[in-house]
Amino acid sequence: MSYTPSNTPVRAAPISSDYELIDGDPYFTKVVRYFRPSDYLNWGISTALVPLGINVWERLEPSLGKGMKPSPIAGTTYRAATAIGFVGGFFLAYVKTSQRFLGWRENSREVAKDRYEVKKLLSQGILPYHENESTLDDRSKDVANRNSQYSSSFLFILPWFNLAYHPYHQVNLKKYYVDRPGEENWGFKLKPLDEIYASTAKKGA
């Protein structure tokens, strides 16, 4: 199903935030690419902390009973604990980065990186959200966005990521056509947005 000006769904306004909104529903790989060094550090700490915690717990509260000698912990238990810590650490990094995209955390580093990447794509005549590359119709893109938007808020309950290219990111691309201090040094000459849409529409036809 394709949308027309007469049946385009109404989109809710972005949730107010303390920092600039970068992307209301960032693609999975983009979120991962924007992990900070501190996110990787926390990820590593989480991976090591869970098996270490099991070891300490066994020493403090032996499974054979109070006052008994701590039992050796099976390798399978350590592997399972490491996997839990690894996944939990990844989720933590993903949630924090997603919050920076939404403007819920300090995100000056991410804002600058996003503006560079988006302006570079626009200068090449490429839609930054790649919605023209998706095989989904308009209705399916809409549903995909509604399913994944803000999903990072309950990631530990139901892991859900945006794996669909769609145009619903709560961002007006026209803001990238206004240079901020220092951006003129990047040397990008952005192609008109209407031309990019027209060009991608012809390729998809």
Task: With beta carbons less than 8 A apart as the criterion, state whether 199 and 125 touch.
Answer: yes
Q: What pLDDT does 73 receive? A: 82
Domain membership of residue 107 as a residue range: 28-204
Structural domain contains residue 81: yes
Cα separation, 100 vs 122, in Å, equals: 23
Q: What pLDDT does 92 receive? A: 97
Structural domain contains residue 12: no
Structural domain contains residue 97: yes
Residues of the chain below pLDDT 50: none
Task: With beta carbons less than 8 A apart as the criterion, state whether 141 and 163 touch.
Answer: no
Structural domain contains residue 149: yes
Of 102, 110, 124, the C-alpha closest to 186 is 124
Structural domain contains residue 40: yes
- Count the domains in the chain: 1
Of 181, 173, 196, the C-alpha closest to 117 is 173
Residue type for 56, please?
V
pTM, entire model: 0.90
Q: What pLDDT does 64 receive? A: 72
Cα separation, 164 vs 120, in Å, equals: 22
Structural domain contains residue 155: yes
Structural domain contains residue 19: no
Q: What pLDDT does 203 receive? A: 64
